Amino acid sequence: MTSTVEAVARLGTWAAGLRWSDVPDTVRDRLGLVLLDSLGVTVVGARQAEQRALVAAWRPGPGPAPLVGAGATTTVEAAAWLNANAMARLELDEGHKYAKGHPAAHALPAVLALAADLGASGPETMSALLAAYEVAARFGRATTLRTGAHPHGSWGVAGAAAGCARLLGLPGEGVAAAIDAGAGLPVAGHFASALDGNPVRDAWLGAANVSGLAAARMAAAGVARNTGTPSLSLGDVLGRFEPAPLTDGLGTRWDVQLGYFKRHASCSFTHPAADAALLMRADGLTLDAIEGVLVETHSLAGGLGRTSWDSRLAALFSTPFVVAAALVHGTVDPAVSADDQRDDPRVRALAAKVVLRVAPDLDARLPDERAARVTVRTLGGPPKVIEVPNPVGDAAYHPMTEGDVLALLGRLLDPDAVRAVHEVAAGLAGTTDVGPDLRRLAEI
């Protein structure tokens, strides 16, 4: 317990002392790219009918924080909750294989909403975003959830708390108290909810952002304490917690540089198989000749083998659907999982031929590789085999540049929207008050 208290204290001191002027240029650039991607996919999510209905049902009151892409501003907490939902709506949000989840989606909506309210400067906002990401990713590394638990809404709350506390100008002990309180507010979500297509999975991210805000406000009021809560909540209750990863390489290893961007609107565990399927399609694979498809993967992805789905989210967590969609349509953009495309008879028929298995040799490569090996049996020909070590977009395998992210957003948004998101993301660090620029995002 003492080691957890000490690690959180050190992490809080580091986050409180973080200055944008001291951050290496490569790290600044990567955070800017994460911000660009995150804002862009939030706009895409905000334009979905399900998200518009959610906003309408929420009836958000007036306030200073933008509902990104939704045409309104609202209170800090409402913006944090709804923007986090929009960001995760289509499974396009940035992730991190070592954290085993999504640091940005757990924390960036809360920090940006609070920054808009406070009228924070660009450098202060970027420092808070970076602190939030790094703390969340380190908590993801430190936490091993119980089998069946979904990572949304658990370890990432600490990141939201750290970023918001940093933005509120709290000293090291205050940031540490916020982190500890945030770690005591996790969601205990089951992975089956995602497989079943239950959107409560998106709400877990909204809860994480709002809980991070609450933890930071508790610390600002002096009613939060650093007592080693992560070892109890994330450890004893939800799994196992090791404090050492919280401070390993602190200030020298930047986790924001090790994440991945998603070019497919689906669970990241399906991406290597989708990439392999697209390579086969480009090589002239004839769909009518396919007799069967074997997808071998690692154990983290072993539960995504369902060949039926009754909603968009369920389809996005089905490797057979994603592989079939990639082969039929040549893309796994959001359009292929929309109501008018999801039940395409060609996709249904091909998905029924896909079998998912865990391969020990691929499992042994975790966490550095999240590999997939796809074997397609065809009529009258030898099997076709393609193995992919990591999805395209991983920092260690075909990383995406700013041009790649802009091209991705260009497929999903109109040019004016892409231009506006790019201008806000690129210019935020240089502003004296981020509020006006962030509120511009509401009108995209």
Task: Find the mean pLDDT for residues 181-190.
Answer: 98
Please determine, for residue 416, whether its predicted confidence score (pLDDT) is greater than 60.
yes
CA distances from residue 366 to 195, 268, 297, 298, 363 in whole angstroms, order as listed: 22, 14, 11, 8, 6
Task: Find the mean pLDDT for residues 275-279.
Answer: 98
Percent of the chain past pLDDT 90, that is, above it, reads: 99
Fold of 268-388: 60s Ribosomal Protein L30; Chain: A; (3.30.1330)
Task: Find the mean pLDDT for residues 281-290.
Answer: 94
**pLDDT tens for each residue of 359-376:** 999 999 999 999 999 999
Q: How does the average pLDDT of the chain come out, rounded?
A: 97
**pLDDT tens for each residue of 304-334:** 999 999 999 999 999 999 999 999 999 999 9
pLDDT at 44: 98
**pLDDT tens for each residue of 111-128:** 999 999 999 999 999 999
Establish whether domains 2-262+401-443 and 268-388 are of one fold. no
Please determine, for residue 1, whether its predicted confidence score (pLDDT) is greater than 60.
no
Three-state SS for 291-327 is: EEEEEEECHHHCCCCCCCCCCHHHHHCCHHHHHHHHH
User: Among the residues of 1-24, which ranges form H helices?
Assistant: 2-17
pLDDT at 405: 98
Please determine, for residue 343, whether its predicted confidence score (pLDDT) is greater than 60.
yes
CA distances from residue 315 to 7, 198, 210 in whole angstroms, order as listed: 40, 11, 28
Cis peptide before 436 (omega within 30 of 0): no
Question: Count H helices, E strands: the chain?
Answer: 19, 8
pLDDT at 380: 84
Rounded distance between C-alpha atoms, residue 95 and residue 268, angstroms: 8
Residues linked to residue 387 through DSSP beta bridges, in sequence order: 373
Assigned superfamily of 2-262+401-443 = 2-methylcitrate dehydratase PrpD (1.10.4100.10)
Domain ranges of the chain: 2-262+401-443, 268-388
Rounded distance between C-alpha atoms, residue 20 and residue 61, angstroms: 33
CA distances from residue 31 to 12, 37, 59, 303, 429 in whole angstroms, order as listed: 20, 10, 32, 32, 11
Task: Find the mean pLDDT for residues 54-79.
Answer: 97
DSSP annotation string for 38-74:
HHHHHHHHHTSHHHHHHHHHH-PPP-SEEETTTTEEE
Q: Report the chain's terminal Cα–Cα distance, integer Å.
A: 47
Confidence of residue 381 (pLDDT cuts 50, 70, 90): confident
pLDDT at 2: 61
Task: Find the mean pLDDT for residues 95-113.
Answer: 98
**Nearest Cα to 66, choosing from 58, 53, 54, 75?**
75
Rounded distance between C-alpha atoms, residue 168 and residue 219, angstroms: 10
pLDDT at 414: 97
Rounded distance between C-alpha atoms, residue 108 and residue 88, angstroms: 12
